[in-house]
Structure 1
Amino acid sequence: MSKNPRVAVCGATGAVGREMLKVLEQREFPASEVVPFASARSKGKKLPFRGGELTVQELTHDCFEGFDVALFSAGGSTSETYAPSAAKLGCTVVDNSSAWRMNPECPLVVPEVNPHDLKWHKGIIANPNCSTIQMVVALQPIHLEARIKRVVVSTYQAVSGSGQKAINELETQVRRLFNGQEVVPEAYPHQIAFNCLPQIDVFLEDGYTKEEMKMVNETIKIMGDPNIKVTATTVRVPVFYGHSESVNIETESKLTADDCRALLATSPGIEVVDYPEKQAYPMALDATGLDEVFVGRIREDHTVENGLNLWVVSDNIRKGAALNAVQIAETLLEMDLMRVER
């Protein structure tokens, strides 16, 4: 396969699709050609790329002929409809929706954690949930060093995880409230401005939400250890970009807070910001637009024998979506696994 693959970006006019184009450009991905695809109503739109413009093409079942990899961020139903067509033509799909994540035939990959799973892909690779991605990047070094037994995570997730409509709603609600006007929730069941909503996605019969169970099930699949126990509470907060997480970990062997800091400081994709004496710790505001997973507030949990607390922050549109997908494509290229011959 050529070391200069042809790349399709599907759902290119959305927030994540546009970020995918930006990441491909910024990381100088060695594509011979990048073509944006979207629905018929977006055909002909122009998107900036490498100092010029790309023209959006219509997404169809036969548009993937001659492409090596397709980065999808067009929603689950679109992925279910078009990803198999791309794979049949030998184009490897990296899909950002939830459609394929728990499919046993599809690897669920975070390159810093389980790149080896790419070896068994059959044409469709799933990009994990944004909140899962940043957490497992922080968990993996600890698991390799001390074996994680249990994880309790509470998330504080930005509205951009719900798309442009939610971003607009937060902005509009803040403006209306400052002007003494009434707000009418549309993107969420309740007002999001100056509020926290302990519900992301729909509730299941056991009281957990789908988002919470995504974190549980995806973490186990990515880390490849069914013995890790995970429980999650996911909360939407009035922040535009950047997910924050309080992560409590119980390990088999002892890992001190200093050991953990040193370990994470030398781990790929992580930047430790943990200087409480200077009031320095990761914040969503500082993580916006950056690639790293930021970890701070590292301390021992004295209620269990081998416990740790972490505060984990990352840009949900970058590492939580677009960047991770491009990193998967880069890893496929390095491992010569990008194209599936049919």
Structure 2
Amino acid sequence: MRNIASVPRVSLGLFPTPFYKLEAISARYGRNIWIKRDDLCGVALGGNKVRKLEFLLAQAQADGCDTVFTTGGAQSNHAMLTAACAARLGMDCKLFLKDRGVTGRRGNLVLDEIYGAPVRLVDTDDYQDIYREMEAEAAGLEARGHRCCRIPLGGSTPLGTLGYAAAARECAVQAMAAGIRVGHLVSATGSGGTTAGLLLGAGLFLPGARVTGMAVDPQPFRETVLDLAAGAAALLEASFQPQEKDLQILDCAGPGYAVPDPAATPAILELARTEGILLDPVYTGKAWAGLLAQVKAGGFEGEGDIVFFHTGGAAALFAMDLPGASN
């Protein structure tokens, strides 16, 4: 097997990110629940995409690229973090985003502007339309001598997936130092790459740990996650055969992708008011609410503690309402 440290990677985040037990929440729910603070990774407002971009932009640099293209929703965390990381590396970044949801000068669209990334809003529900527009502009730039890197939705490719295999290894080291056994890794699932990386990383570095993806998009993610994990394993020349019990995907989309769910608001407020941690209303908030619902229902069976990966997204709190919130 190839060592993950041997895969080219550019340093962008401040790792390892904090890892600690949520004492008040654990006492309240009768389970040991830990948090991995990837929202504190040191780039912009933080988030999981930085780990993926360390691998993806290293490849872009190796290919001699000077311009990065990517896509997402209007308030995409991935797009914003791609703009931030590209700026840090001296690369141009162009964002092609869906003209859906909150499109005014709020949240991540403000940050995209601050990082100098021009945004084209595309009036479509189909990302294939966006990829066609993106490819046309990239082809024009390349005809003029530029080299362009195209990063798909969420940075969820086998190479990007390695970011969260590395995160699982990081978590394994921290868990060993804390003297705990990790039984469950939980994260939001929006394009599949983070959950796939955790699945691969658990198989390699946390034997016996199960992975739960809280799906914030009403898409069938299981095959996507398995395919991405297998592709990342192939890059490492690793033998990887996940068992049925190793992965579960739970539907936490609520009213729909990028739409706040009033049912998640109490969980968001509870974490803020007991642990001082902010979650956004469309990704981490839904995932956290799903985790607590499972704990209440007797889920996450077996031995070992639960680890929640905080994947960022705080800018959404400044772009949309938190339904049902009160003083």
Normalising by the residue count of structure 2, what TM-score does the alignment of the two structures yield? 0.38
* Greater gyration radius: 1
TM-score by length of 1: 0.36
Q: Quick check: which one's strand share is greater?
A: 1
Higher helix share: 2
